[in-house]
Structures are given as structure tokens and as C-alpha cells.
């Protein structure tokens, strides 16, 4: 994360966030971005404080509940995460990101059929939600439904986003299914995309790149 981001207390001063009432629209965008940045740094308390203030000012904004639920989830506060996801969907039943987030919660709890249903809702609402397609493929793989998983990954690749992640997860699916040649090919495709992203200074990919290298090593296919 950019080190120029402010702490939550500094952000209130910078934006002149009112003690009560509704913040200005530009303040809302800034604080949501700041909360995400704090979460990426694993400063979960600061991120939760920021989103809590936004919710206090505007308790009808489903996006803020969904985002706060995601941070609760990442910090291991699963019951609070589910409560926020449910609130977000009550406020906005068409918020595809909230369905994807709740599906991730269900998947982590081993409730895989519920996860699949929520991913379906997310995709129905927004067919371009590539993360929901990717996550659904991973969940089908966890269910050992490898054909359905590969179909999810194949469709996700059409949209031209997150290719490194998709090739990595499809490769792992081929790997577990025993199609090792297909797995090796996908792992190398994933490495090409993930290395490209690193060169472009994108924030994602480092941890997954290391994982792909470990999977390749399992197949004895590292040079």
C-alpha cells in the first residue's frame, strides 16, 4: 500500500469529517479507499473504525456493510462478517459483491452448497464478476467436482481479467484430477501472467506465484 495514506484519525482531520450527519461524497470515496488500504496492510482495527464511522453516518449504504464484513472475515471475526453480509443484502439484494463475499464465508465454513448458491447469485446479477467465477471454480474443486470447476475457469478466462489466478487454479484442478500435462501447461501460463504483473508493479500475485512454483515442484517440472 502507498505509504502516503493517512491513519483513520488523520483522515477525519484531512476530510473535515463532521462529528454527526452525512460526510460529503468525495469524503466517502476517500474513506472507503483508505479503509481498503488499511485492510491490505492488515491494520484491521483502523479499517473497521473507518467503516464503522461511515455506517454511523449513513446506515443505509449496503456497500459499507459488505466491505466491513470482508474485513471482519479477514480478521477472523466470522459471526460479525456474516451479520454484515446479511445486512448488506437486506439493504441491497442486487449487490453482487456481497453475495461473493458471503459465499467466501460459507466456503471457509465448509458450507459448500450454500457457497455455490451465493456465487450463482453474484454471477446472475453481474456476469462480469470474474472473482465470483474464480471462487466458484475453487469451491467446485473442493467438492471434487473437477469438471464443473474447469468449466468455471474456462468461462472466467473469456473476460480477460485475473488470468494468472485463473490459470493457476485451473492448473491445480488438472493436477488433482491427474491431468498432469494440462496442469504443467497451465502453471507455466500462470507464471507468465504473474511475473508480468510483478513487472507492472501490480499488488497481487507474489504469494500465488510462490504457490504455483511449489505445485510445479510437486510434479518435478521445474527447470
Domains in the chain (CATH in brackets) are: 1-91 (1.25.40.10), 94-159 (1.25.40.10), 162-223 (no CATH)
- The per-residue pLDDT for 206 is 82
Per-residue model confidence (pLDDT) at position 199: 77
**Range in 5-19, 52-66, 77-91, 136-150 with the lowest mean pLDDT:** 5-19
Please list, residue by residue across 141-168, b when 16 or more beta carbons sit within 10 angstroms of its beta carbon and e when fewer do. Answer: beeebbebbbebbebbbeeeebbbbbbb
Checking if the pLDDT of 22 tops 60, the result is: no
Helices (H), 6-61: 8-15, 25-40, 44-57
* pLDDT of 15 over the 50 cut: no
**Residue 167: all three cell numbers together:** 490459470
Q: Which of 92, 159, 106 is nearest to 135 (CA)?
A: 106
Grid cell listed for 132: 465470483
- Which range has highest mean pLDDT (39-43, 54-58, 117-121)? 117-121
Mean of the per-residue pLDDT values for the chain?
89
- Per-residue confidence (pLDDT) for residue 175, from 0 to 100: 98
Report the percentage of the chain scoring pLDDT > 70.
85
Contact 163/202 with Cβ under 8 angstroms? no
Residue 23: predicted pLDDT: 57
Amino acid at each position: 500500500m502507498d505509504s502516503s495514506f493517512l491513519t483513520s484519525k488523520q483522515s477525519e482531520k484531512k476530510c473535515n469529517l463532521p462529528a454527526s450527519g452525512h460526510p460529503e461524497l468525495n469524503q466517502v470515496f476517500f474513506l472507503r479507499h483508505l479503509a481498503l488500504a488499511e485492510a491490505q496492510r492488515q491494520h484491521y482495527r483502523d479499517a473497521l473504525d473507518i467503516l464503522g464511522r461511515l455506517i454511523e453516518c449513513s446506515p443505509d449504504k449496503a456497500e459499507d456493510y459488505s466491505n466491513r464484513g470482508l474485513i471482519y472475515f479477514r480478521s477472523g471475526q466470522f459471526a460479525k462478517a456474516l451479520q454484515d453480509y446479511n445486512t448488506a443484502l437486506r439493504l441491497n439484494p442486487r449487490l453482487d459483491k456481497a453475495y461473493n463475499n458471503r459465499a467466501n464465508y460459507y466456503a471457509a465454513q465448509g458450507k459448500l452448497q450454500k457457497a455455490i448458491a451465493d456465487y450463482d447469485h453474484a454471477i446472475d446479477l453481474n456476469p462480469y464478476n470474474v472473482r465470483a467465477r474464480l471462487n466458484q471454480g475453487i469451491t467446485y474443486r473442493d467438492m471434487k467436482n473437477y469438471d464443473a470447476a474447469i468449466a468455471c475457469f474456462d468461462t472466467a478466462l473469456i473476460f480477460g481479467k485475473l488470468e494468472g489466478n485463473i490459470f493457476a487454479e485451473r492448473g491445480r484442478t488438472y493436477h488433482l484430477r491427474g491431468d498432469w500435462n494440462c496442469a504443467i501447461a497451465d502453471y507455466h501460463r500462470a507464471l507468465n501472467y504473474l511475473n508480468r504483473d510483478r513487472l507492472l508493479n501490480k499488488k497481487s500475485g507474489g504469494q500465488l506465484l510462490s504457490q504455483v512454483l511449489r505445485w510445479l515442484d510437486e510434479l518435478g517440472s521445474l527447470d
